[in-house]
Amino acid sequence: MRNGKSKTYEVIIVGGGPAGLTAGLYTSRSRFQTLLIERGLFGGQMTTTDLIENYPGFPQGITGEELSRLMEEQAKRFGLETVSDEVMEVALEGDLKRVRMYELTYYCEALIICTGTEYRKLGAPGEIEFAGKGVSYCSTCDGAFFQDRQIVVVGGGDSALTEALFLTKFAKEVTVIHRRDQFRGTKIYQERADASPKIKFLLNSVVQEIKGDAVVRSVVVKNVKTGETKEFEADGAFIFVGISPRTQFLKGLIQVDEAGYILTSANCETSEKGIFAAGDCRKQLLRQITTAVGDGATAAFAVEKYLEAKE
């Protein structure tokens, strides 16, 4: 039953990253009454990126914060409504989709899921206990707190390498810990990390435990080949060991793969009519700002065709 605070929109978009903002730009510009719901900052993980070098149109690069601001400004220019809240559940109610948050409930004819991903936890003892006390998942957010300190970065992909490079602006020494003997990150980031005098590498190694008192003081590292365990002094641990899609609230509603990524058609259609998905939360080969923007436009156009067919 709809409460007094509920409202019905033609389109609701869940998630305000590049996919969601692009979808909102397109649907609003097409004069569909659109609401975008974002639980955090507009721009999503893009806001935490120090320098974006591979987004077309910015030959000298652009900060994630600035690109997020520009995308938000452009989307709102055409009348996009926004609300800061977290979606708890999505369900079907007749021909409409019901989107429930903590206190409010909204309804829509078409729904676009653009919730992106979140950083995966390492799972080592001490990680949760020291979160915000030396353990971080965002160097742009927390790097400045580690001026002239020794820190470790855990991971071997693009995120780990780019974040390690950013942290050299503050830290005295950055040790990158990776469980394999080779990195998965792009070659150009590997080359830059190799060339940095502040970055050291600890390969074939995993973090067994993060230790400290009020804050992080050390990490216990195990060599996966020899089994040898050592404890290293560290003032902070930045974790970049992968991502997981933020799709838990959709459980049982639409089809997802074993990792939780939403299965869609080439037109961003999910298994449920009227529900679309765009950006990093859907199953696809590449997850970049450029692909998220393309998804947002495709999903918005598919929504337009879906709503026109209903008339």
- Catalytic residues, by residue number, are 138, 141-142
The whole-angstrom distance between residue 35's C-alpha and the CA centroid of its chain comes to 20
> Residue for token digits 């300190």?
149
Instruction: For residue 28, give the 3-state DSSP assignment.
Output: helix
Q: Which residues of 136-160 are buried (b: 16+ CB within 10 A; e: fewer)?
A: bbbbbebbeebeebbbbbbbbbbbb
Q: Cβ atoms within 10 A of the Cβ of 226, count?
A: 9
The residue type found at 304 is: E
Query: What own/partner pairs with CB < 8 Å and gap ≥ 24 does 73-76 have?
Result: 74/21, 74/25, 75/21, 75/22, 75/24, 75/25, 75/28, 75/36
Any idea how long the chain is? 311
Contacts 24+ apart (CB under 8 A), 119-123: 119/239, 119/240, 119/241, 119/242, 119/243, 120/241, 120/242, 120/243, 120/244, 121/239, 121/241, 122/154, 122/207, 122/239, 122/241
Report which secondary-structure segment, H or E, holds 135.
Answer: strand 135-136
β-strand 135-136 against 150-154: which pairing, if any? Answer: unpaired
